[in-house]
Amino acid sequence: MDLGTLIGLIGTWVLIIWAMLAGGSLIYFIDVPSIIMVIGGSITVILLCFPMNYVKGFGKVLKKGFFHKPSSLEKLIEDMVSYAEIARRDGILSLENATKEIDDDFIVSGIQMAVDGTDPELIEEIMDNDLDNLSERHATSKGMLDALGKYAPAFGMIGTLVGLVLMLQNMDDPSKIGPGMAVALLTTMYGAVIANAFALPLSDRLSRRSSEEVLRRTIIIRGVMAIQSGDNPRVVEQKLRTFLPPGQRKVDEEEAA
């Protein structure tokens, strides 16, 4: 977990708990039926919206959102250029030995197809399809968090309405109106907290992670295609550096000079 994630996660919940404590005791904000209503209702709706095989992997989605560490694009470009240098110097068939030391299966798959003499258009089509499938999986994972962020407040409101109905049935005792209203509002609070302090921020984070991975794989596809076509390593480097932000490209060019 990077520093920004840690500060954001802890800071958000510290502020919420501080606001609760400033008004009294945390006991005032705990109501088991309300918790069950919001969390249980949100889970059942997610099961209704998404296939079970996706829901089973929800834990991996959370882990990736919090603990995934993006790889360096600069290092990736350096690796692709080094493969281009090997292919240029010793022939593309020599890359077959290099694939044994590569950890990324996507790079290995692309280079192996190039080594096997697969048609360039077919290589690009296969790798693009793989990228599209990755984007679809990421969109589904993000969709589960978006659904949680959408339905948790809705179930909070439903719980509040239920609580208000029950409260209105006991209007003959004015002393119970205040506590009854407080309990009824707790479900709305739970839904809002789950959505805005957990589900939606993590969804946005996963969206960013997905964009980073798509960019990374796009660089790999362009690198493999350049290697397959026999481009000069310097040309390969120039092609791939166009994917970097302008500021980063400038820094790298200055360092190279």
Place of tokens 């919420």: 16
* Distance separating alpha carbons of residues 111 and 128, to the nearest angstrom: 14
Q: What is the pLDDT of residues 14-62, one digit of tens each?
A: 999 998 888 778 888 888 989 999 999 999 999 999 988 888 888 887 7
Amino acid of residue 123: I
Amino acid of residue 42: S
The answer to whether 229 and 118 have CB atoms below 8 angstroms apart is: no
Q: What is the pLDDT of residues 77-117, one digit of tens each?
A: 999 999 999 999 988 888 988 888 888 899 999 999 999 99
C-alpha distances out from residue 86 to 79, 96, 146, Å: 11, 11, 45
Helix H or strand E segment including 240: helix 233-241
Place of tokens 């964009």: 211
* Distance separating alpha carbons of residues 242 and 252, to the nearest angstrom: 12
Q: Could you tell me what percent of the chain has a pLDDT over 70?
A: 95
* Distance separating alpha carbons of residues 257 and 254, to the nearest angstrom: 5
Q: Is the pLDDT of residue 151 over 60?
A: yes
The answer to whether 232 and 219 have CB atoms below 8 angstroms apart is: no
